[in-house]
């Protein structure tokens, strides 16, 4: 990448906090709920607290009478915190549930179980004005800048569309100016306001998507593979823009991506997902340089190493077998069917996401949360 990783949120990254206590706010009226949602959060405090989040998609059979015969366990009991001002990266193989987590946080999907607290309010249970206030504050940037922008709308209408739902952010007379300011903020010429999406390159389109995400002055932006569809050189520009905007607007990012190097570059902390569960979570240094979960070690080991000397000495972990179906995950540890360390205990007991006992209380980067009965460090040479 073009720049050294950003590490300015030291207070967040020095120690990886376990999931924090949730301080719920008892809001008796919608006004109280909205007031709680609009209240500021100190930098480094949790802004989003996800607890035991579950999303099962029913599997049905039959044409006239539909019968449920099972469920795709896309997200199956995930807990984590997102801290104000930080970037939390989420990585994991295709189908492990990353986008489903994003949709649950955006309240685009209804959770099967679990809670998502935003400033002490469980957003899975909100409705009406309080839910509208949450939706204003949590925005999303999508993966594909080619299909996520309506080709029949001008850029001005695309970026200004959220003001139709939230006119309080930009009253009618000021909208054109506000949209031009947003174009300027994301590095596009404000005079392009009347152009259509097909008149822009992929990178420029993603800038339009980011401008739209910023329109309502949100606090959190969920980025689902925001640069995966772009050329490598354009990826770097968009990532640099996102970092600049994070500082300027005090944003918290949940950043979902396949590319481990990009995630390391932008993230303060990283969570590794496998088959609907969180396998390991920690600061970027803990996850990349001191992984203790075999799945993370295998993922990192798959990152190509350009230096032939470093490549020669390294042990490559090749995972065998396919990812099991999320409709029928293995008992105990979900990774056991592909894990080279699996033992009887792994089939019998679900490993909890926690700091492994052997490292508890120790001042070592290995002391971070890992859902493995036999978590231990392993030297993994990689270029991420
Ligand atoms: N609406 C739906 N109905 C049924 N199953 C679904 C639905 N949405 C997602 N799934 C399933 O849930 C699982 C997780 O999907 P999800 O899109 O969250 O994965 P992902 O980690 O984002 O994958 P990718 O990296 O390919 O984007 C997959 O098995 C997927 O087929
Ligand atoms: S719990 Fe067992 S199967 Fe799962 S990752 Fe650890 S060693 Fe492997
Ligand atoms: Mg996805």
pLDDT tens string for the chain (384 positions)?
444 444 444 444 444 567 888 888 888 888 888 998 889 888 889 999 999 999 999 999 988 888 989 999 999 999 999 999 999 999 999 999 999 999 999 999 999 999 999 998 999 999 999 999 999 999 999 887 778 899 999 999 999 999 999 999 999 899 999 999 999 999 999 999 999 999 999 999 999 999 999 999 999 999 999 998 888 889 999 999 999 999 999 999 999 998 999 999 999 999 999 999 999 999 999 999 999 999 999 999 988 777 777 777 677 888 888 899 999 999 999 999 999 999 999 999 999 999 999 998 899 999 999 999 999 998 887 878
If asked whether residues 254 and 309 sit together in one domain, one would say no
Domain annotation covers residue 362: yes
Dihedral angle, C-alpha 315, 316, 317, 321, nearest 10 °: -140
If asked whether residues 257 and 302 sit together in one domain, one would say no
**Does 274 sit in the ligand 2 pocket, CB within 6 Å?**
no
Residue 336 C-alpha to ligand 2 middle, in angstroms?
A: 5
Total number of domains constituting the chain? 2
If asked whether residues 106 and 219 sit together in one domain, one would say yes
Contacts of residue 188, defined as CB under 8 A and 6 or more positions apart, other chains included, come to: 204, 207, 208, 211
Residue 358 C-alpha to ligand 2 middle, in angstroms?
A: 15
Using CA atoms, how far apart are residues 263 and 98, in angstroms rounded to an integer? 14
Q: Which residue's CA lies nearest to atom 1 of ligand 2?
A: 372
Ligand nearest to the CA of 329: 1
**Does 98 sit in the ligand 1 pocket, CB within 6 Å?**
yes
If asked whether residues 308 and 258 sit together in one domain, one would say no
Q: Which residue's CA lies nearest to atom 5 of ligand 2?
A: 372
Q: Which atom of ligand 2 is nearest to the CA of 340?
A: 8
Domain that holds residue 171: 1-12+38-60+70-274
Using CA atoms, how far apart are residues 290 and 180, in angstroms rounded to an integer? 45
If asked whether residues 228 and 300 sit together in one domain, one would say no
If asked whether residues 107 and 238 sit together in one domain, one would say yes
CATH code at 188?
Answer: 3.40.50.300
Domain annotation covers residue 93: yes
Contacts of residue 184, defined as CB under 8 A and 6 or more positions apart, other chains included, come to: 190
Judge if pTM exceeds 0.75. Answer: yes
Residue 76 C-alpha to ligand 2 middle, in angstroms?
A: 17
If asked whether residues 238 and 372 sit together in one domain, one would say no
Q: Which residue's CA lies nearest to atom 4 of ligand 1?
A: 57
If asked whether residues 211 and 242 sit together in one domain, one would say yes
Residue 57 C-alpha to ligand 3 middle, in angstroms?
A: 15
If asked whether residues 258 and 314 sit together in one domain, one would say no
**Among candidates 378, 323, 381, which has minimal Cα distance to 92?**
323
Using CA atoms, how far apart are residues 199 and 155, in angstroms rounded to an integer? 10
Domain annotation covers residue 373: yes
């Amino acid at each position: 990448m073009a720049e050294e990783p950003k590490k300015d949120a030291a207070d967040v990254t020095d120690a990886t906090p376990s999931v924090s206590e949730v301080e719920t706010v008892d809001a008796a009226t919608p006004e109280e709920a909205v007031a709680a949602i609009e209240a500021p959060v100190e930098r480094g405090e949790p802004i989003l607290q996800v607890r035991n989040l579950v999303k099962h998609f029913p599997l049905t059979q039959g044409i006239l009478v539909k019968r449920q015969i099972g469920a795709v366990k896309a997200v199956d009991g995930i807990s984590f915190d997102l801290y104000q001002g930080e970037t939390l990266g989420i990585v994991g193989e295709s189908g492990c549930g990353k986008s489903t987590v994003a949709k649950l946080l955006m309240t685009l999907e209804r959770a099967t179980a679990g809670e998502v607290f935003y400033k002490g309010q469980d957003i899975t249970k909100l409705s009406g004005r309080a839910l509208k206030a949450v939706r204003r504050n949590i925005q999303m940037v999508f993966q594909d800048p080619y299909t996520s922008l309506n080709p029949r709308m001008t850029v001005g209408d695309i970026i200004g569309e959220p003001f139709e739902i939230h006119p309080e952010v930009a009253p009618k007379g000021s909208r054109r100016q506000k949209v031009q300011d947003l174009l300027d903020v994301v590095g596009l010429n404000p005079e392009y306001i009347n152009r259509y999406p097909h008149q822009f390159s992929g990178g420029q389109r993603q800038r339009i998507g980011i401008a739209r995400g910023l329109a309502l002055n949100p606090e959190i932006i969920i980025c689902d593979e925001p640069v995966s569809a772009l050329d490598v050189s354009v990826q770097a520009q968009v990532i640099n823009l996102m970092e600049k905007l994070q500082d300027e607007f005090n944003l918290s990012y949940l950043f979902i991506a396949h590319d481990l190097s990009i995630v390391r570059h932008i993230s303060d902390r990283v969570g590794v997902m496998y088959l609907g569960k969180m396998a390991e979570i920690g600061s970027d240094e803990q996850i990349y340089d001191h992984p203790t979960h075999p799945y993370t070690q295998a993922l990192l080991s798959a990152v190509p190493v350009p230096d032939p000397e470093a490549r020669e000495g390294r042990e490559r972990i090749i995972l065998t077998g396919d990812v099991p179906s999320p409709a029928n995950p293995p008992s105990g540890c979900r990774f056991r069917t592909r894990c080279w360390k699996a033992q009887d205990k792994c089939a019998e007991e679900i490993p909890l996401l926690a700091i492994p006992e052997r490292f508890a209380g120790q001042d070592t980067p290995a002391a971070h949360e890992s859902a493995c009965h036999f978590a231990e460090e392993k030297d993994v040479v990689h270029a991420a």
